[in-house]
Amino acid sequence: GNSVTQMEGPVTLSEEAFLTINCTYTATGYPSLFWYVQYPGEGLQLLLKATKADDKGSNKGFEATYRKETTSFHLEKGSVQVSDSAVYFCALTPNQAGTALIFGKGTTLSVSS
């Protein structure tokens, strides 16, 4: 079946530290991959996406590369800010009829100044 596994949090960093949140997936076919962010008290916002192998999604200093050989889509940012504190969800859609977005359990990031 299709599934997403994320590293468990919480992740606690100081401002300007390097961030990596690991995400691996299992899917049939060729899924599209996403990172969503949820700020406290809000819904989900699309952070970045990649639709095929070796694609790199990027937004607001965050990056993730679609690695088919390792079935991974790790999220990285070179220098985090306090405002990046949120819950981050890795997700995939298998691009098959009748299937919706499948999410990982989420990773909480807390950045202190």
Partner 1 sequence: EAGVTQSPTHLIKTRGQQVTLRCSPISGHTSVYWYQQALGLGLQFLLWYDEGEERNRGNFPPRFSGRQFPNYSSELNVNALELEDSALYLCASSLASYGYTFGSGTRLTVV
Burial string for 57-74 (b: 16+ CB within 10 Å, else e) reads beeeebbbbbbeeebbbb
Task: Decide if residue 88 touches partner 1 (CB under 8 A).
Answer: no
Task: Decide if residue 99 touches partner 1 (CB under 8 A).
Answer: yes
Cβ nearer to partner 1, comparing 13 with 101: 101
- Specify the 3-state DSSP secondary structure of 113: coil
Dist. CA 76–CA 54, nearest whole Å: 15
Site string for partner 1, 16-55 (x = CB under 8 A): ----------------x-x-x-----xxxxx---------
How many helices (H) does the chain have, and how many strands (E)?
Answer: 0, 12
**Interacting residue with partner 1 among 89, 92, 109, 111 (CB under 8 A):** 89
Tell me which residues touch partner 1 (CB under 8 A): 32, 34, 36, 42-46, 89, 93, 95, 98-106
